[in-house]
Structures are given as structure tokens and as C-alpha cells.
Structure 1
Amino acid sequence: MKDSVLKQKQAVVAEIEDKIKNSKSLVVVDYRGLSVADVTELRSQFRENNVDYKVYKNTLSRRAFENLGYTDILEHLTGPNAIAFSMDDATTSAKVTSKFAETNNKLEIKVGMLGDDVLDVAEISKLAKIPSREVLIGKLVGSLNAPISNFVNVTQQLINTPMRNLIHVAETLAERKSAESAE
């Protein structure tokens, strides 16, 4: 094999290794049977969600996973495969592939990874159902904010209720005085 070809292949393996290390999660899919329009739509959805979707030769993918010690995934790297690397949110690659696979049964989800854990199809499906990071943060902030809001509302009611009572007493006294002076 020529040195230049070997260097190119080593560069691709290094690229795959880098993506595996830096991704929050990844999903390996079999795209066999998808039309060009389907693949274009899938790529578009991945781009919109900041997921890197790439087709690599299985021998190069196997080498990268093997170099990193992920031998459990090697048996799934057969046939035409593409890998969706989620760099920002751990759930995104699973969400996009699962949603697309629901409407297009030709896309087969094979295996995935979350951190260092290899996921089967059922686990990828569970991962896809988890709300995004932003939604979870919003729920957390809402949960943290609720007791503070309740405290402020109760405090405000405690302050306002005596004031209302005082105003009511003052108005009643004023009405009595005016009724007494009118007599």
C-alpha cells in the first residue's frame, strides 16, 4: 500500500477517534434502502440539530472503535453504516434518528453509545424520549423558582391583609364620625 494512501486512512481513523471521544453520544444506523431525498432530509435534520452525520468505511470505523477499546460495538459495523455524532446534547442523535425511523422504516438503528456505554436499540429509544438539556434546565429552574414565588406571595398577603384591615377600620371609623356629626 502506498504511503500516501496509508496516511489518508490513518487520518480518517484519527478523525473518527476524535469524534468518538468528543461526542456526548452517537448512533450507528444502516441507511440501506433510503432514497436520495430521504438521506438529504435526514442530513438536513441532523444539521439543524448540530449532529455530525457521516458515512465511513467499516474497516476504518472498526479500527477507530478498537483503538479506543470499544470492542462491543464492532459486531454491529457490517453493511452500509453511517454514524451520527451528537456533540452538544447527549439525546439529540437518538432523538433525530428515532423520529426519522418512525416515519421511514428503511432506516435501521443498529447500536449507539452514551459516553463510554454501548446502547442497544431499546436503550437508544429510551434515550430519545428524555427531554433535551434546555427543557430539563427549564424544569429545574421552575422547580427552584416555585418555593421562592410562593414565599413572596405569602409574605405579600401577610403584609397586605393587615393594611387592608387597617384601611377598612379607618373607613368605618370615618363613616361613624360622619354619621355622628350628621345627627
Structure 2
Amino acid sequence: AAKAVVDFAKTTDKIEIVGGSMGAQKLDEAGVKALASMPSLDELRGTIVGLVNAPATKVVRTIKEPTSMLARVFGAYGAKEAA
């Protein structure tokens, strides 16, 4: 709701944000705008999945790279002897 109100307030001068509340906590204008600028739950989940997945990808790449290098060396020796 905070995002919708802040976006609407940007397009019209008929509404002015002076405060709000979140549960028992009272928010001033800066608090409402800060709340509106926070990412959604789905965006946060995507970020967490990306952060968790990145180290696993690096481990797989690190394990895979020596075998690729070895295959290139053997290919180069084979090409050298064929020439």
C-alpha cells in the first residue's frame, strides 16, 4: 500500500504524505517513503536464491576447469603430432 500511495503522490498534487503506521509503529513521511522503496518479498527471495546459488556455481566451475584445461592440452599435442 505504501508503494501505491507514494507512486500516486508523485503523479498528482492532490495527495500529500504526512505519516502512516505499520502495526503498532508510527511512521513519519520519511518512514513511509523508506517503506515504499523496499523491495517486494518475491524480489528478496530471488536475491537470496541468487546469493545461495552463486557459491555452488563457482565450486562446480572450479572443479570442471582443470579437466577442460587437460583436454585442451591433449588436443594441442594431438594436433601438433598430426601436423
Which of the five TM-score ranges fits, normalised by the shorter chain? 0.7 to 0.9
Shift of 1:138: 1.1
Q: Cα deviation per residue 1:3-56 (whole Å; 9 max; x = unaligned)? A: xxxxxxxxxxxxxxxxxxxxxxxxxxxxxxxxxxxxxxxxxxxxxxxxxxxxxx
Shift of 1:166: 2.0
Shift of 1:123: 0.4
Q: Does 1:135 align with 2:43?
A: yes
Map of 1:164 onto structure 2 = 72
- Alpha-carbon distance between aligned partners in 1 of 2:23 and 2:60, rounded to the nearest angstrom: 42
Letter in 1 for 2:33: S
What are the residue-to-residue correspondences of 1:68-147 with 2, within 5 Å?
93-147=1-55
Shift of 1:98: 0.5
**Moved segments of 4+, more than 4 Å:** none
Shift of 1:99: 0.6
Question: If you compute each CA radius of gyration, which structure gives the higher value, 1 or 2?
Answer: 1
Q: Structure 2: where are the runs of 5+ without partners? A: none
SS of residue in 2 equivalent to 1:113: strand
Q: Structure 1: where are the runs of 5+ without partners? A: 1-92, 177-183
Which one has a larger percent helix, Structure 1 or Structure 2? 2
Larger relative contact order (CA 8 Å, sep ≥ 6): 1
Count of residues in Structure 1 that have an aligned counterpart in Structure 2 = 83
Which one has a larger percent strand, Structure 1 or Structure 2? 1
TM-score by length of 2: 0.81
